[in-house]
Amino acid sequence: MTMWGSRFREALDPAAQRYNASIGFDRRLAAQDVRASAAWARALRQAGVLTPAECDTILAGLQQIGEEFAGEGFVYHENDEDVHSAVERRLADLIGPPAGKLHTGRSRNDQVVTDLRLWLMDHVPALDSALADLQGVLVGRAEVELGVLMPGYTHLQRAQPVTLGHWWLSHVWPLDRDRERLQQLRRRTSQLPLGSGALAGTAFPVDRQALAADLGFEAPCPNSLDAVADRDFAAEFLFAAALIGVHLSRLAEGVILFSTREFGFFELADRYATGSSLMPQKKNPDLFEIARGQSGALIGELTGLLTILKGLPSAYDKDLQEDKQPVFRAYDRLAQALPVLAGALRTLSVRPERMAAAIDEDMMASDLADHLVVQGVAFRQAHEVVGRWVRLGLEQGRGLHSFTLDELHALHPAFTAEVYDFLDPTHSLSRRAAIGGSAPAAVAEQLAKARRAIERTPMDSPPSETIKGAGGSS
Amino acid sequence: MTMWGSRFREALDPAAQRYNASIGFDRRLAAQDVRASAAWARALRQAGVLTPAECDTILAGLQQIGEEFAGEGFVYHENDEDVHSAVERRLADLIGPPAGKLHTGRSRNDQVVTDLRLWLMDHVPALDSALADLQGVLVGRAEVELGVLMPGYTHLQRAQPVTLGHWWLSHVWPLDRDRERLQQLRRRTSQLPLGSGALAGTAFPVDRQALAADLGFEAPCPNSLDAVADRDFAAEFLFAAALIGVHLSRLAEGVILFSTREFGFFELADRYATGSSLMPQKKNPDLFEIARGQSGALIGELTGLLTILKGLPSAYDKDLQEDKQPVFRAYDRLAQALPVLAGALRTLSVRPERMAAAIDEDMMASDLADHLVVQGVAFRQAHEVVGRWVRLGLEQGRGLHSFTLDELHALHPAFTAEVYDFLDPTHSLSRRAAIGGSAPAAVAEQLAKARRAIERTPMDSPPSETIKGAGGSS
Amino acid sequence: MTMWGSRFREALDPAAQRYNASIGFDRRLAAQDVRASAAWARALRQAGVLTPAECDTILAGLQQIGEEFAGEGFVYHENDEDVHSAVERRLADLIGPPAGKLHTGRSRNDQVVTDLRLWLMDHVPALDSALADLQGVLVGRAEVELGVLMPGYTHLQRAQPVTLGHWWLSHVWPLDRDRERLQQLRRRTSQLPLGSGALAGTAFPVDRQALAADLGFEAPCPNSLDAVADRDFAAEFLFAAALIGVHLSRLAEGVILFSTREFGFFELADRYATGSSLMPQKKNPDLFEIARGQSGALIGELTGLLTILKGLPSAYDKDLQEDKQPVFRAYDRLAQALPVLAGALRTLSVRPERMAAAIDEDMMASDLADHLVVQGVAFRQAHEVVGRWVRLGLEQGRGLHSFTLDELHALHPAFTAEVYDFLDPTHSLSRRAAIGGSAPAAVAEQLAKARRAIERTPMDSPPSETIKGAGGSS
Amino acid sequence: MTMWGSRFREALDPAAQRYNASIGFDRRLAAQDVRASAAWARALRQAGVLTPAECDTILAGLQQIGEEFAGEGFVYHENDEDVHSAVERRLADLIGPPAGKLHTGRSRNDQVVTDLRLWLMDHVPALDSALADLQGVLVGRAEVELGVLMPGYTHLQRAQPVTLGHWWLSHVWPLDRDRERLQQLRRRTSQLPLGSGALAGTAFPVDRQALAADLGFEAPCPNSLDAVADRDFAAEFLFAAALIGVHLSRLAEGVILFSTREFGFFELADRYATGSSLMPQKKNPDLFEIARGQSGALIGELTGLLTILKGLPSAYDKDLQEDKQPVFRAYDRLAQALPVLAGALRTLSVRPERMAAAIDEDMMASDLADHLVVQGVAFRQAHEVVGRWVRLGLEQGRGLHSFTLDELHALHPAFTAEVYDFLDPTHSLSRRAAIGGSAPAAVAEQLAKARRAIERTPMDSPPSETIKGAGGSS
């Protein structure tokens, strides 16, 4: 059964029908379609289009369909073009003629985008919560490894000492921004298209404000043409997902590097590492590589949807059917990745002695320059002097600490014996005590702030949608 | 002069130097670099690193440099690697040795990203205001053309009647969402990196909270490693810009279509249309085509930056130098496009008679089905009946209104004489009176809401940054 | 069974295992994996690693597995990590211990990319042939509608008359370029990675030249590190697919426009059009809109893979696992779209009278200028004169033909009575007789050339891979 | 002067004019525009439209304009809309009325795309040659470092020994594929649009075959509508550029990693490394990071252009004006990067002792399994046995070599004393002697093949377009 055949003298070509059908992927909207249909039935009753009895019959039918979907007992027919037709077809099976009244005053154009918005409103909180879990793991590690010295890098070259706690926390804040974005986009998603009809608004006196409230939306969309055409919320979700992907890729890159034998800072737990079919000794960070790779796929989904939207004339065009798969795929990737990465990070081993050993004394070069600054030398000059000291060391194959004060005076008269203190990495750390710095006290404050950020008021989430800590996808 | 040469035995290869240099594009940050440098000098004084006299000397020098930039009198040197070096070099020219103290405790890593954030904080309000201007034009037209009947389209096929006022407004709301996004991302941009040093925090007791306030930031970035590595704000701006571009492309598509001779709804003013070098009769909507095309370029900028960020290990990597050009280009495209499109839309002529003539009576087919619904027929059946009526009309070459009530009764007994009222487009319109619908009263309410939305509290904007109505770029 | 467990003390976490597993999508490589495994067995026999008897046993087992896959009788186990493990596991079920010898000297790194290359080598010809079919439809229509006058457009404004035959052919040549690209990329795909081991080459004396020949490859990859890391062929395929998508989107845009009531040039056959669930009169070009939309998705796939590849260190990284799904999805989209579009184009109706009516006389304005050129006036001046003529016509509401010769002489003395011939569209057409022009004779020549281009030597294609005219996907 | 004003009653709004103008970037096509204009003048003479004298006058004028461009003495006027108008305007200055005849029978639509194709045909060979130079550096290093042992990596974990020569060569072949692609796309670019007019073909009897030959094109485009609409060649160039960018990013990633203190395999020459404004000791691989980052920008350019093309109706739309800047930017990035990277790679120092020290004995684990294979054990079992050996070693903190034969027999009875030979990395290498393997002999053969590949017949290149070894851009 299609919902539109009578005007046509010939049925759709079978290959064209397959090409046109979205049931292969929009069936994921089943629960949302049932929920929105029930709300629509109530709105039609309120508008006087359905009698209370008709409405109750429809609601009972929809209830059963919802249970069939939940129990995976729903049987699709070959001719179900999309989830909306499938639900209406099944409703007719169950309750007969009154089913034909449900589609009064609505269109698949406002229906499908309502379903997709509902789906996102249901699933974004689950993602948010999986992000919070990952943040929790990072903060937990930061707390334990607050004081573990490690080299900080820029350009992947050793730069200045930091602590592992500081490093873990540096990956918490990007996720915090992600969660803020999710919260804001969820609110923007929460505008109800239903009641916009095909494009010009519903022709029955439906109370859209009440309908919005019934479905948990903040407000009805203000313009019916825009309501059926707008996929900003999906693009915005894909952007947020892509940026989460980028953040995970950067974290993954760090873990992959630190797990190399050359760095040797981290070792993955056996149950979060994989081997080689050929090389028996291999222990590979596959999970982090997949996460890094998937950031590319997520960027591609975003590009794809934006390109689909480009240049579409207003109101509904069928191109918009291509909006759902990228959203589902992006969600699935993250829903699968986040708990796995959380598990892997929670269980990896750290080698503080390797980290400490990687702190070369020339990483304190800027501190040495600061020593001169404290003596009143201008920084630019101090930098130049220490640069020469470093070069001398390289040329003579000597450590910086081996230079005598006399030798240093030859470089600049302002050096004092205190300069040798500045070669100590913990001294270097302690000097960076301003907000956000790597001094232990500053990191401790930061940690407390991070804990508070994780506890940001969680979004309302229907209890059924969760991303399991064990990595199960919803 | 480079800021880092003394450790090296050889100067940078000249071709490598050109490749490495960013002065060709980061000079756009000149005003921001001067401003941030002045704030940094004040922070160093507060931290006791600069004496009040040194600080005053530096501030006076920076003031003069700022004026040189503003007056385009600043002379770049061949060896200026980036705007930061150029400013410091010029400062040394002007005030001598104290200039060498300015870079104390900061790094180009925190400096450059502070400048770029400041630049965006300065320019986003100008964009917001240009968007509001465009909204104003759309709303102004909507007010005048509130009651102008036009065909509404889905799949580019005539669907149901709407009004031109409703159509104009359908392009106001996407821009409203854009402006909300800009406001939110501007706030997220307003986190201060300065004081993060190269990666580990500044080693001097700078009050970063005060520094943030001095520069108009909301708060200091909470983690120094993240602060120098984070370009989320730039990616988010590019996403917002790409989505604005998509919205403009959809509006442009509508205008291009409606300006064809086939549609004939719009005619562009001569001063917003172009001709052909070969065909003397041509009048082309080039400006709208460029806007449509640029949405592709804007999507490309977003893709590019996200890809650059993917997989970067934490803290600063030089890849990040590639962040600025996409931001500048995206801004420039929109800053140029918005006032031009506003002008073109304000001045185009509308042909109400062409629009009215394009309203075919079969566009009321869903109303005819509703007529049966009102008589108690289930919508699904009513739809099927009217579909057959439409097919009969096509087959017999007859208009729907030409069918007699007897003929209609052959299709379904529930038809009454009232059905002929349902063929009237104004009747169709008036039925769509729910919020967001195309009934004149609903559109009038929508219009008032749109006017209020335009007046959203404007962002603080330095008076110097404006996108001129005459299309001037800032 | 994993292929690598013994070095590890703990099994992979179940969620991590699901995240890591590729069996959900790489099972599409089953036939290729069996084929490549059989060839590898033969190579190992030739290298003396397998005895003839062992080889025969393995080949018999693989034969059966191949039949199980073909008959969809293959049973996957829950622990099958990927298609390679599944095949080897099943082989062990079937033939016992000798199965354990098959993986000698190879790695999943060279195996998987060999499979994917084989898959593309199998499927690209099917795509090529579907493109040729579509070209055939276009050329067939061009032949029939060679002389049907229609307006040619630039900027979507009526520009100069052309013929529908010329327009159909304008969509043949982009597909011709696509097919040339497919042919070239298929050849580049035909470099054999197998025998590269995990990264350093196989440690057994395999004759890779013979192995390449056995599998239908042109040559072995010349460097083992590159062989396992290289996904250029996949990126190149995705680029070709994206460009095909863009070409289809442009063709689709034309069909969608020409099928509007405003243009009214085309009418889709009922069996290639769809209706509306709400509006009984609607007849929508959904199939073409989907094709247009999918071009966005195809561009996204390309972006995604390129981004995945960016910055990977050489040799195999697990990110590369993300290479397969975009390739499969891109292929599927095109394999589904091409026959459907071919069917829709073959069956659509053309309305020559609407096209003819759309030829305004001012579309001959450049011919009028040429008339003056023939009289010796410089084109630039002639253009200016005719521009004024057009403006006069607009201002006075008069057609160009209504201007008397005297009036024309007031514009320029060189006008002769012959000018009125230049207002005839067939005269305009006939003047464009150079190669590639719209004169009927030139189009007839072009048509013959297009027919020859379609017959370009087809690529070798295994008979089993075809995209059915009825739109079936392989 | 515009080329189209007379039909209009009002001049273009100044802001709109700036938005519409392309002179800011299409001036790079000046040389090509002059060359194509000269060829067009000759074609018009041949067609009898210009007298020989007129043609000579025009050619002389164009000659002078060409010289003005070459000497940078050409003066643009404020109203020059694009390079075509500028050339025609200047021609009129120089030679008066005959200049007005040059535009006869052509349009900016066929003109601009001819210019852009010519530009690419001129510049692709320069890029090809810069790629060959970089290949030359890589092969040169490979020759010198053919036998330098280094660890090969997969998943960034030490996998099997290879040689540095093999590694350098692994980066030669991707560039070889790039060059093949450039050659093929250059040929596809070499189809002449000129003579297609605005869209319908030129109305004068121009010999397009001769015109193509005159300009160095292979053939005229076969369809005028397609000719002015087609930007496949630009998209294909951007794809090739993006893939080159990806290849450089992967090479850069390797160099950046190997230059870390943790790997310590490479040290950049001082004149190809940069320092820090804050940390005097830093030596950063900025040049390689920029190259890595620019791959993102290149991917963005490709995405952008494909998106611009999506959904454009056939023949010329102004969106296509956006085709040039991505092409220029992509070229410039590569033209600047390639010689710089070549210089940096030529001059970097290698530390063979660090590489040798990084070869852990467990990297021979697959060889140990092969030892059992040679004894007749099935590989799958052998892999499992050696995996347990590796685990025992890890658990007991013992090297693999320290296990006695007795101990090994406890793992598997087939071990013989020969197994200890398999722990030698040079033995491991020597076993990988098949084509493309890492055995020294195989690498030597590969090197010879690479040398031959570099010498692929160079593309014809006008002598003026070269990318200087010193990094100068053309």
Tens digit of pLDDT for each residue in A358-409?
999 999 999 999 999 999 999 999 999 999 999 999 999 999 999 999 999 9
Residues of chain D with pLDDT under 70: 1-2, 457-458, 460-466, 468-474
Q: How far apart are CA C452 and CA C458, in angstroms?
A: 12
Choose, out of D224, D388, D445, D449, the residue to mutate when testing the contact with C (most C CBs < 10 Å): D224
The answer to whether residue A1 scores a pLDDT higher than 70 is no
Q: How many CA atoms lie within 13 A of B83 on its CB side?
A: 27
pLDDT number for residue B470: 37
Neighbours of chain A (3+ CB pairs under 8 A): B, C, D
Smallest CA–CA distance from B257 into chain D, residue = D313
If pLDDT is split at 50, 70 and 90, which confidence band does B277 have?
A: confident
CATH number for the domain formed by residue range(s) A5-104:
1.10.275.10
H or E element: which one contains B157? strand B157-163
CB of C468 within 8 A of CB of A18?
Answer: no
pLDDT number for residue C460: 57
Q: How far apart are CA C157 and CA D313, in angstroms?
A: 11
pLDDT number for residue D168: 98
Across the interface, do A281 and C7 touch by the CB < 8 Å criterion? Answer: yes
Neighbours of chain C (3+ CB pairs under 8 A): A, B, D
Residues of D in contact with A363 (CB under 8 A): 279, 281
If pLDDT is split at 50, 70 and 90, which confidence band does A471 have?
A: very low
Q: How many CA atoms lie within 13 A of A18 on its CB side?
A: 15
Choose, out of B259, B279, B371, the residue to mutate when testing the contact with C (most C CBs < 10 Å): B279
Share of residues in chain A with pLDDT > 70 (%): 96
The answer to whether residue C471 scores a pLDDT higher than 50 is no
What residue spans define the domains of chain D?
5-104, 109-357+449-454, 361-436
Q: Where do runs of H (alpha helix) occur along D270-421?
A: 286-309, 324-347, 352-357, 365-374, 379-396, 405-411
The answer to whether residue B10 scores a pLDDT higher than 70 is yes
**Interface contacts B/C by beta carbons within 8 Å:** 126
CB of C104 within 8 A of CB of C45?
Answer: no
Residues 6 or more apart whose Cβ sits within 8 Å of residue D103: B277, B278, C379, C380, C383, D3, D88
**Radius of gyration of chain D measured on its C-alpha atoms:** 30
CB of D153 within 8 A of CB of A276?
Answer: no
If pLDDT is split at 50, 70 and 90, which confidence band does C277 have?
A: confident
Smallest CA–CA distance from A162 into chain B, residue = B200
pLDDT number for residue C458: 63
CB of A375 within 8 A of CB of A367?
Answer: no
Tens digit of pLDDT for each residue in A248-305?
999 999 999 999 999 999 999 999 999 988 888 889 999 999 999 999 999 999 999 9
Q: D340 vs chain B: nearest CA distance in angstroms?
A: 6
Share of residues in chain C with pLDDT > 70 (%): 96
Tens digit of pLDDT for each residue in B306-356?
999 999 997 899 999 999 999 999 999 999 999 999 999 999 999 999 999
**Interface contacts B/D by beta carbons within 8 Å:** 257
The answer to whether residue B469 scores a pLDDT higher than 90 is no
Residues 6 or more apart whose Cβ sits within 8 Å of residue B286: B273, B274, C155, D20, D318
H or E element: which one contains C158? strand C157-163
pLDDT number for residue A457: 65
From the candidates C22, C77, C123, C155, which is the catalytic residue?
C155
For domain A109-357+449-454, give its CATH number from 3.40.50.300, 3.30.420.10, 1.20.200.10, 3.40.50.10860: 1.20.200.10
For domain B361-436, give its CATH number from 3.50.30.60, 1.10.40.30, 3.40.640.10, 3.30.413.10: 1.10.40.30
Of B201, B235, B257, the CB nearest to A313: B257
pLDDT number for residue A350: 98
Tens digit of pLDDT for each residue in A147-162?
999 999 999 999 999 9
In the 8-state DSSP scheme, what is residue B417?
G
pLDDT number for residue A474: 32
D411 exposure class (CB count in 10 Å sphere: 0-12, 13-18, 19+): middle
Neighbours of chain B (3+ CB pairs under 8 A): A, C, D
Type of residue at D364? M
Residues of B in contact with C369 (CB under 8 A): 280
Of A250, A310, A384, the CB nearest to B295: A310
pLDDT number for residue A441: 96
pLDDT number for residue A461: 52
CA end-to-end span of chain B: 31
Tens digit of pLDDT for each residue in C87-142?
999 999 999 999 999 999 999 999 999 999 999 999 999 999 999 999 999 999 99
Q: B160 vs chain A: nearest CA distance in angstroms?
A: 7
Across the interface, do A271 and C12 touch by the CB < 8 Å criterion? Answer: yes
Smallest CA–CA distance from D202 into chain B, residue = B278
pLDDT number for residue A460: 57
The answer to whether residue C472 scores a pLDDT higher than 50 is no
Across the interface, do B16 and D336 touch by the CB < 8 Å criterion? Answer: no
If pLDDT is split at 50, 70 and 90, which confidence band does B463 have?
A: very low
- A147 is written with which tokens? 């004081």
The answer to whether residue B471 scores a pLDDT higher than 50 is no
Q: Please calculate the CA angle B64-B68-B72 and round it to the nearest 5 degrees.
A: 170
CB of D66 within 8 A of CB of D31?
Answer: yes
Neighbours of A346 (CB within 10 A): 17
In the 8-state DSSP scheme, what is residue C171?
T
Residues 6 or more apart whose Cβ sits within 8 Å of residue B72: none
- Tell me what percent of chain A is helix, strand and coil, each rounded to the nearest 5: 65, 5, 30
Nearest to C285 by CA among C350, C353, C341, C355: C341
- What are phi and psi for residue D316, nearest 5 degrees? -75, 130
From the candidates B276, B314, B402, B464, which is the catalytic residue?
B276
- D455 is written with which tokens? 């010498």
Across the interface, do A293 and C321 touch by the CB < 8 Å criterion? Answer: yes
B218 against C460, higher pLDDT: B218
- Overall pTM > 0.90: yes
The answer to whether residue B390 scores a pLDDT higher than 80 is yes
Choose, out of C84, C88, C223, the residue to mutate when testing the contact with D (most D CBs < 10 Å): C223
pLDDT number for residue C184: 97
Tens digit of pLDDT for each residue in C240-275?
999 999 999 999 999 999 999 999 999 999 999 999
Across the interface, do B8 and D84 touch by the CB < 8 Å criterion? Answer: no
Tens digit of pLDDT for each residue in A53-95?
999 999 999 999 999 999 989 999 988 999 999 999 999 999 9
